Amino acid sequence: MTPELHRPELHRPVALDRIGPRGMTVDIEAKPDELPAIAARLHVLALESLHCAFKLRRVGASTVEAEGALRAQVTETCVVSLDPFSHDVAETFTVHFVPPGAEDDNPDPEAVDQIPYAGAAADLGEAAVEQLALALDPFPRKPGAALPAEASEETPNPFAALLARRSQE
């Protein structure tokens, strides 16, 4: 029995040979039945919408540059109040689709991300989901949420009394 390959929740392959000398634009949008699986993968309460507009162009014999404009509406849990809240995510990004094994190990966080493509197609849906994951705040806060005053006060040092006693001697 052959193991089933993982198929991304938002699979939108684009044949790289369709990209002409002037480039091409591609819009992708998650369908309503795809949104719950993406939300589960990203560990958010809900994903109401996900849209990404791509501008693709060749930058070498085997590399394709993709400039993306991502828009999504997400429902998350506030880390302060634990209330669910919805908010919009808008992000622009640039990635390079490169042949497998051609990725470089540039440690610079400002460097353009490189995504290997399989065969002769790049999966723009998977790239959009990955960019949404990067755009999400790891500690989401509902607008106006603040820690209670007692939570922000400094906790006393348990050795403060010993230090005070020692300094009296």
Domain boundaries in the chain? 13-168
Arithmetic mean of pLDDT over the chain: 88
Which residue blocks in 33-110 are alpha helix, DSSP H? Answer: 35-42
Contact (Cβ atoms closer than 8 angstroms) between residue 60 and residue 123: no
pLDDT for 104:
84
Q: What is the pTM of this model?
A: 0.81
- Cβ atoms of 73 and 49 within 8 Å: the answer is yes
Residue 117 CB-density burial (10 A; 0-12 exposed, 13-18 middle, 19+ buried): buried
pLDDT band at residue 150 using 50, 70 and 90 as cut-offs: low
Q: Which one has a higher pLDDT value, 42 or 145?
A: 42
Encode pLDDT of 5-44 as tens digits.
567 899 999 999 999 889 999 999 999 999 999 999 999 9
Label residues 22-35 b or e (16+ Cβ within 10 Å = b).
Answer: eeeebebebeeebb
3-class secondary-structure state, position 23: coil
CB 120 within 8 A of CB 104: no
